[in-house]
Amino acid sequence: MNCSRRHRLIEAEWPTFGECGSPPWPSVADFEGRIDAVRAAMDGLGLTHLVIYGDREHFANMAWLTGFDPRFEEAVLVISLRGDPLLVVGNECEGYLPVSPLFTAGKLRSERYQPFSLLNQPRSNSRLIREIFAGEGIVMGSRVGCVGWKYFADSEHPDSSHAIDLPAYLVDTLRDLAGRENVTNATAILMHPDTGLRTFCSAAEIAYFEHTNILASEGMRRMLFGLREGMTDHELAQLAGYNGTPLGCHMTLATGDLPGLSGPVGATIRRGTPLATNICYWGSNICRAGWVASSARDLPVDARDYVENFAGPYFEVMSEWFDLLRIGTPGGELARLIAEKLPFEKFGIFLNAGHLIHLDEWLSSPIYSGSDVPIHSGMAMQVDVIPSSRIYASTRMEDGVVIADETLRRRVQEQFPDCFARCRKRRDFMANVLGIPLPDEILPLSNIPAIVPPFFLNLSTILAIEA
């Protein structure tokens, strides 16, 4: 592991790594393979049916399995051990079904359930949800797994296996049909950081996530280079150049005394105040935090040692964090590194020292205190370690990386050679300019990889590690 090399400020141009169009959408065979993997997991757990819930915010499990993401309404996907799955949708989603390659190939059945629709829309032309579930063979004694967006530990709920985050009217119906004990939370099949199917990204998923990381990081670059004191946060946000790609979470842009999750509100950007902002598309979330300043002289007096006592030490420890991000490393080791070297009393890091990202902004995380969940190949990792201080505000190098063993790297190189070449160039920049050599298994996806300018009015001055 790296031995706490010191930070330094260097003068450097921000490199360009190139852009790319969106890679091909997964094929029918890809989606069929995912359904097959789910069925194998169901069989291993003794489940006869899996009921997957989706809505506008909690779409990722359904989209990963079918290519369909609900718009406006709820939807439910029912998978049994045999036959084509059933997708149950409301009025307005019915016309959107062809977005799913499975549906257009005739391998995904559908049914309209109008109570999924918005209030006072037509509701007289669909079966009851009980009839729909029963028609899928859910009867007394069936073993039904429910997939929402969370599962629960025994420490969180006295009956964690039966704690289900789907709407009550769906769960009540399933329990009435199959028996309460037979309806359980099965979200871990898809989302558990160690075994969840979505934590093992394919080469095609990596290429898509690189595409969205490029979109987000190039937008962040435009914002930072266009930042001027006196402009409004709305004017700054427009520089992101949003192009309609689906968002993974709402854009934040907090300046001055605004709370960290605030979006643009019309505030004027002033010299000598902190600023933090993010751009998040499916599979990417790029965030930077620093000061609207040209140098430390622009900062409040008690914050003028911002680089020496806050941003610099953070950068040093994050270089060690990257060195630990290796296949087989227990997540608890990364958590311990951050807790010990960036103590809460000074750096205020409360959430996980990194987490998994996918179509949703937060999938789950192997990185928490005491975690023995190992880093494994296929993880899409968000470099999301969030320091916070009343004096120093924050700093950030929040980008996306993928953990890929030799086999997965070879697949990326063979199937998406331009993507792989850009990842190699980013690795070289991080090692040779920033002084952050990476383990072989890390593929950086962002076009501003680990670039941390402490002062947003002087972007050529960035943090690095001494040679």
User: Domain residues of the chain, as ranges?
Assistant: 7-22+198-465, 48-185
CATH topology of domain 48-185: Creatine Amidinohydrolase; Chain A, domain 1 (3.40.350)
Nearest of 254, 248, 264, 48 to residue 139 by alpha carbon: 48
Could you check whether 7-22+198-465 and 48-185 share the same CATH topology?
A: no
Q: 7-22+198-465 maps to which CATH number?
A: 3.90.230.10
pTM score of the predicted model = 0.96
Helix 203-226 to helix 417-432 angle (10° resolution) is 50
- What's the CA gap between 404 and 211, in Å, rounded? 17
β-partners of residue 275 are 255, 290
- What's the CA gap between 256 and 262, in Å, rounded? 11
At 429, is the secondary structure helix, strand, or coil?
helix
pLDDT tens-place values along the chain, 467 residues long: 445 689 999 999 999 999 998 898 899 999 999 999 999 999 999 999 999 999 999 999 999 999 999 998 999 999 999 999 999 999 999 999 999 999 999 999 999 999 999 999 999 999 999 999 999 999 999 999 999 999 999 999 999 999 999 999 999 999 999 999 999 999 999 999 999 999 999 999 999 999 999 999 999 999 999 999 999 999 999 999 999 999 999 999 999 888 778 899 999 999 999 999 999 999 999 999 999 999 999 999 999 999 999 999 999 999 999 999 999 999 999 999 999 999 999 999 999 999 999 999 999 999 999 999 999 999 999 999 999 999 999 999 999 999 999 999 999 999 999 999 999 999 999 999 999 999 999 999 999 999 999 999 999 999 999 98
